[in-house]
Amino acid sequence: MTTTSHQRRLPASTTETDRRPIITTTAGRAIAVLRIAFGLEFLWAFVDKVFGLGYATPSGKGWIDGGDPTAGFLGKGTSGPMSDFYHSLVGDWWVTPLFMISLAGIGLALTLGIGMRIAAVAGTLLYLLMWSANLPPETNPVLDDHILGAITVVVLALVAAGNVWGLGKWWTGLDFVRRYPWLR
């Protein structure tokens, strides 16, 4: 029997039990909850910054009210060796729209379970940029919530977390996604 690059010859001693997925149904559901929770975290940040709901963004300071969701953090909330770079971004025409599109896009992708590769790359980049804005981290010199978030979004993409309680299977079956696998 010949094998193609898509087939793998199993040893004669392999049983049907050995071919089971490594992630159990319960684990898949737990990962789906994690994916949805991270997605909703990004979407909440987007909504709060758009409307200034009085949580992280004060009332009346939302983007819809003319506020700049990135100015406060970039102008006053950064520290360390990268702070001058981040201060220089305050008021640049592209910074806030790109940040807001990122929050919404990553949040929707994670919540719906689509475009997980793009969400992982964009989420990791956003987390690492936010991590680098305050170096060294205040509570732990190596790890903080931004690094853990970056690791999490990568793992969610690697385990195809969008396939459980999400639209991942439907998404990956679309013609344009099959044609451009980086959209998975």
Whether 173 maps to a domain, the answer reads yes
Q: Output the pLDDT for position 2.
A: 47
Residue pair 147/154 in contact (Cβ under 8 Å)? The answer is no
Q: What is the pTM of this model?
A: 0.86
pLDDT of residue 9 exceeding 60, the answer is: no
Asked if residue 14 belongs to a domain, the reply is: no
Is 115 among the domain residues? yes
Give tens-digit pLDDT for 73-92: 999 999 999 999 999 999 99
Asked if residue 93 has pLDDT above 90, the reply is yes
Whole-number percent of the chain with pLDDT over 70 = 89
Percent of the chain residues past pLDDT 90, beyond the cut? 80
Mean pLDDT of 17-37: 86
CA proximity to 156, closest of 55, 181, 148 = 148
**49 and 57 in contact (C-beta within 8 Å)?**
yes
Residue 1: per-residue pLDDT: 44
Calculate the CA 182 to chain-centre distance: 15
The number of distinct structural domains making up the chain is: 1
Q: Is position 142 within any domain?
A: yes
Domain of 167 in residue numbering reads as: 23-183
* 8 found inside a domain: no
Q: What's the first-to-final CA gap in the chain, in angstroms? A: 32
Look up residue 94 and give its DSSP letter. Answer: T
